Amino acid sequence: MSPIRAAVPSFFLARRLLRRHGSRIEFARYAYFTLFAAKRALVDAEFRDLIVTDLFYYQPVAIKLAALARTDEDMLGRLLPLVEEELADMVSPGSPYELTPLITIDEMPQLEETTASGGELEPATSDELEFPESNSAGSFGLVKADMTSTARMHRTLWLVSSVLRDLDQVENLELKRRTLVELLELWGRFITVLSADASLADLRSAVTRHLQTSGDSSEESDEKLEDFLGRSIPAGVAIGGIEMTLSSPKLASVFDVALSSGGLRRSNECVTASLLLLFLLRSPGWAMKAATLVDQAEATWVLTHFFHALCQDAYAQGGAPEDELLALCKALYLKQQTFTSADIRSAHLDQYTQRLRTERAKTRHSRHPA
């Protein structure tokens, strides 16, 4: 071995990219291993073909390869079949997509007491733990038939979302649009699948048992909380995943094309995931676009409770544009009830609007006290 070639491992060992493990030398971090594998695929056509032929199996390398390549239309074209394979398994809509019964209101609203803006908020303390990055070599050995539907779908979503986001220099807009529409459908489907997952049922039961032993709740409130967790946790996991993988300004124009084509209104699942992505992107006019989707959507629980709560909080926290975001909140509010007269409707809507504006003012005051 030449002195130069011998110096390379020594340099990497000194920089802690590599480490000694007994008589072997290996990558010190799994992330280094997948990064160097992806860089190898850029210059080795045979190795690249191995990766892209089975994107699901080589997911960690494929994600990094997309981020490095950015123009690989062939890889982009291989994403859609992965999503279609998951969507081919028919799944009945879960509890998050149950329709919310309309509440009929036939009385004028009661006057609400207004409270003065509070003082400064107590500084939040964080108990979050920082977990060290794993040193294990890891493995790509994943057989779909042996995986749960939740785990398989999650891996597919993470792969396709990340690769679609990072192949931003591919010019085939129609292929991107089709992939995004199917992908959003699958993100919405994931909420259903996760809501029926056994691990979530275990979590709900554990929370309920804790409340029962603490004596801080009644049987009725326990049932309501368990039902709420069963519906909201899957939606929360989904929006977190979308934020980590798909939420990027690079996809804003693709989303707009998909929205204008009408493809995002194909199902409650697709509408829900589209609204979550819009909420995260916050691109110009996002609230108005969301209101358009909401107007034509069914009043599902995840829309009228989970997404509505997100929008109300965004408005209270000073979200912009103020008028459009307020209009979106009002549209979601009206999805949940019907009124026996125009006067009653107007009075309740005015009261709701005033309540939102009061919360927004309180937040502004707490951040900038006089």
Please indicate, yes or no, if residue 355 is contained in any of the structural domains.
yes
Nearest to 198 by CA among 149, 240, 154: 149
Averaged pLDDT of the chain: 85
Q: What pLDDT does residue 17 have?
A: 82
- Of the listed ranges 25-39, 68-82, 207-221, 259-273, the least confidently predicted one is 207-221
Tokens 């009830």 correspond to 337
Mean of the pLDDT values across residues 108-130? 51
Please indicate, yes or no, if residue 352 is contained in any of the structural domains.
yes
Mean of the pLDDT values across residues 60-65? 95
Q: What pLDDT does residue 114 have?
A: 53
Please indicate, yes or no, if residue 26 is contained in any of the structural domains.
no
- The burial of 246, by beta-carbon neighbours within 10 Å (0-12 exposed, 13-18 middle, 19 or more buried), is given as buried
DSSP state of 265: G
| pLDDT level of residue 140 (50, 70, 90 thresholds) | very low
Q: What pLDDT does residue 173 have?
A: 95
Please indicate, yes or no, if residue 22 is contained in any of the structural domains.
no
Q: Which pairing describes strands 24-27 and 337-339: parallel, antiparallel, or unpaired?
A: unpaired
Q: What pLDDT does residue 137 have?
A: 33
Nearest to 283 by CA among 336, 247, 323: 247
How many domains are contained in the chain?
1
Residue 154 has pLDDT above 80, yes or no: yes
Q: Which pairing describes strands 18-21 and 24-27: parallel, antiparallel, or unpaired?
A: antiparallel
Q: What pLDDT does residue 141 have?
A: 44
SS3 of the chain: helix, strand, coil, percent, to 5: 65, 5, 30
- Of the listed ranges 37-41, 201-205, 239-243, 271-275, the least confidently predicted one is 201-205
List Cβ neighbours of 12 (8 Å cut-off, separation of 6 or more).
Answer: 18
Please indicate, yes or no, if residue 343 is contained in any of the structural domains.
yes
Q: What pLDDT does residue 218 have?
A: 64
Q: What pLDDT does residue 195 have?
A: 87
Mean of the pLDDT values across residues 311-338? 93
| pLDDT level of residue 181 (50, 70, 90 thresholds) | very high
285-299 per-residue burial string, b: 16 or more CB within 10 A, e: under 16: ebbebbbebbeebeb
DSSP element (H, E) containing 49: helix 45-53
Domain that holds residue 298: 70-110+146-367
| pLDDT level of residue 222 (50, 70, 90 thresholds) | low
List Cβ neighbours of 208 (8 Å cut-off, separation of 6 or more).
Answer: 222, 225, 226
Q: Is the bond preceding residue 321 a cis peptide, omega within 30 degrees?
A: yes
140 or 189, greater pLDDT: 189
Asked if residues 75 and 169 have their Cβ atoms less than 8 Å apart, the reply is: no
Please indicate, yes or no, if residue 293 is contained in any of the structural domains.
yes
Phi, psi angle pair for 328, to nearest 5°: -65, -45
Please indicate, yes or no, if residue 65 is contained in any of the structural domains.
no
Please indicate, yes or no, if residue 347 is contained in any of the structural domains.
yes
